[in-house]
Amino acid sequence: MTADFYDTLEARDPALREAALMAALPHQIANARQHTDAFAELLAEVEPDHVRSRAALARLPVTRKSELLARQQAVRADRERGAFEPFGGFATIGWRGLKRDAGARRVFQSPGTIYEPEGLGRDYWRVGRALHAAGLRAGDLVHNSFSYHLTPAGAMMEGGAEALGCTVFAGGVGNTELQLQAMAELRPHAYVGTPSFLKILLDKAAEQGQPLSVRKALVSGEAFPAALRDWCVERGVTGFQCYATADLGLIAYETSARQGLVVDEGVIVEIVRPGTGDPVPEGEVGEVVVTTLNPDYPLIRFGTGDLSAVLPGTCPTGRTNLRIKGWMGRADQSAKVRGMFVHAGQVAEVLRRFPQAKRGRLVVEGEMAQDRMTLRVETAGAVPEGLADQLAVALREVTKLRGEVAFVAAGALPNDGKVIEDLRKFD
């Protein structure tokens, strides 16, 4: 299987790509340390020139969305003291009146509330690559039904489409009847938006006996299961999915091979054990952690909170970058047990104290007010005497809750990224 590549980067030798990424990494870390208050603090002890490998990168702290939000909120609260910085000290660009007084073209608001900057430049969010893989080409009219209000999704897709030479209809969300009217009268070649709204449009068009001209689609923002993908194909629309966030832009995209998602050329992706920053072996499910090479918003080891896993080998289309399985759930797991919250990071902290413990899962069972916690731990070989008691003590120290410990063979726990499994039923 061969492909019409977006550019030569997609098919380069993996070793050359890795060398280029690792060469760019120290410059991005130096940029983040020098030009952002947040990373000046978070990476204060890091020598940028020493971070030239994935192993060195893995020693840096993970910054999760909750921390980004907390820093943004803290600086907003300090506005009266002259520390106003809506991006929490993570951006190198802004506008007049901020510490970073230029360079931002737009600013967006995501739920939380989290603010994200958009800088200058063609296809700023790098979505053109995903649109190209979905079959869009110069001259196509693209019906963009992602939101243009507050969040960046509409602008992200529009920028990528314009970079390809497409024309864009700014449909936005909702107003199904008006959007169908526009589709009937403008005859777009392609759709971008959520898969659920595409289904609504196709259903409504069929109900009204209205043929649609759309034949290709790039969807995101929701799961795109194979059943829905095939349903769309039966109605004449071939859809592909991409994985992008408001913080990072494009992370990975689907190709005609339909074998996972190929990682974008402008980011470094790691899969780590939930609640930690420790990379997992290839194939094991963990949290997606991304380092972007965008100098305006230089997020270093940004934890997305999403679960995925690396696929072995390269894409049959000839694209040679890393592949991931796609979205497999959320990594920011927690459970409330006997009135106390237990988080995935706490389970990881317990396991980290014992080299004999390979992987673990905290299982919560029981009825209301009768919760039982069992830490199931994978070990290789014989279990050292007293290890169960030591783990139980550590579990109580970290979580402030009593729990049992049960050992299982290496590889016995499901490979689904779960660190906390809540089996209680709340009627």
CATH of the domain at 417: 3.30.300.30
**Confidence (pLDDT) at 2:** 53
Instruction: Report, as an integer, the average pLDDT of 178-193.
Output: 96
pLDDT beyond 80 at 79: no
Show the DSSP H helices in 331-418 as ranges: 344-352, 387-399
Q: Report which of residues 54 and 425 the model is more confident about.
A: 54
pLDDT tens-digit map of 232-243: 999 999 999 999
Instruction: Report, as an integer, the average pLDDT of 336-349.
Output: 83
Tokens of 147: 């939101």
Task: Using alpha carbons, select from 261, 320, 258 the residue that is nearest to residue 290.
Answer: 261
pLDDT beyond 90 at 332: no
DSSP code for 148:
-
Tokens of 414: 């499901």
d(CA 331, CA 316): 29
pLDDT beyond 60 at 369: no
pLDDT tens-digit map of 371-417: 889 999 998 778 888 899 999 999 999 988 889 999 998 889 998 88
pLDDT beyond 60 at 284: yes
When pLDDT is cut at 50, 70 and 90, the band that residue 162 belongs to is very high
Domain annotation covers residue 387: yes
**Confidence (pLDDT) at 368:** 55
**Confidence (pLDDT) at 418:** 86
Question: DSSP readout, 274-307?
Answer: TTS-PBPPTT--EEEEEEE--SSS--SSEEEEEE
pLDDT beyond 90 at 66: no
Percentage of the residues of the chain whose pLDDT score is greater than 70: 97
pLDDT tens-digit map of 105-156: 999 998 878 999 999 999 999 999 999 999 999 999 999 999 999 999 999 9
Domain annotation covers residue 407: yes
Question: DSSP readout, 99-137?
Answer: SS-SB-SEEEEETTTEEEEE-SSTTTT-THHHHHHTT--
List Cα–Cα distances, 28 to 25, 284, 299, 320, in angstroms: 5, 28, 9, 23
Domain annotation covers residue 96: no
Q: Maximum CA pair distance of the chain?
A: 75
**Confidence (pLDDT) at 14:** 97
pLDDT beyond 80 at 77: no
List Cα–Cα distances, 403 to 11, 72, 275, 340, 390, in angstroms: 51, 37, 19, 13, 12
DSSP code for 261:
E
pLDDT beyond 70 at 37: yes
Domain annotation covers residue 257: no
Q: How far is CA 69 from the centre of its chain?
A: 16
d(CA 28, CA 52): 11
Question: DSSP readout, 309-339?
Answer: -EESS--TTS--S-EE-----BS--EEEETT
When pLDDT is cut at 50, 70 and 90, the band that residue 3 belongs to is low
pLDDT beyond 70 at 426: no
d(CA 135, CA 218): 9
d(CA 276, CA 339): 24
Q: How far is CA 331 from the centre of its chain?
A: 11
Three-class SS state of 102:
coil
Amino acid (1-letter code) at residue 253? Y
Task: Using alpha carbons, select from 376, 363, 357, 359 the residue that is nearest to residue 420.
Answer: 363
Per the document, the length of the chain is: 427
When pLDDT is cut at 50, 70 and 90, the band that residue 327 belongs to is confident
Instruction: Report, as an integer, the average pLDDT of 197-218.
Output: 95
Number of domains forming the structure of the chain: 1
Task: Using alpha carbons, select from 216, 195, 235, 237 the residue that is nearest to residue 136.
Answer: 216
Q: Which domain holds residue 369?
A: 334-422
Domain annotation covers residue 310: no
Domain annotation covers residue 345: yes
When the pLDDT of each residue in the chain is averaged and rounded to a whole number, the result is 92
Domain annotation covers residue 242: no
Task: Using alpha carbons, select from 273, 293, 303, 307 the residue that is nearest to residue 62.
Answer: 303
How many Cβ atoms from other residues are within 10 Å of residue 347's Cβ?
A: 24
**Confidence (pLDDT) at 315:** 97
List Cα–Cα distances, 105 to 85, 112, 155, in angstroms: 16, 22, 11
**Confidence (pLDDT) at 203:** 94
Helix (H) or strand (E) holding 109: strand 106-110
Per-residue burial over 364-381, b if 16 or more Cβ lie within 10 Å, else e, is: beeeeeebbbbbbbbbee
Residues 6+ apart with CB under 8 A from 255: 3, 133, 240, 262, 315, 317, 319
Domain annotation covers residue 298: no
pLDDT beyond 60 at 259: yes
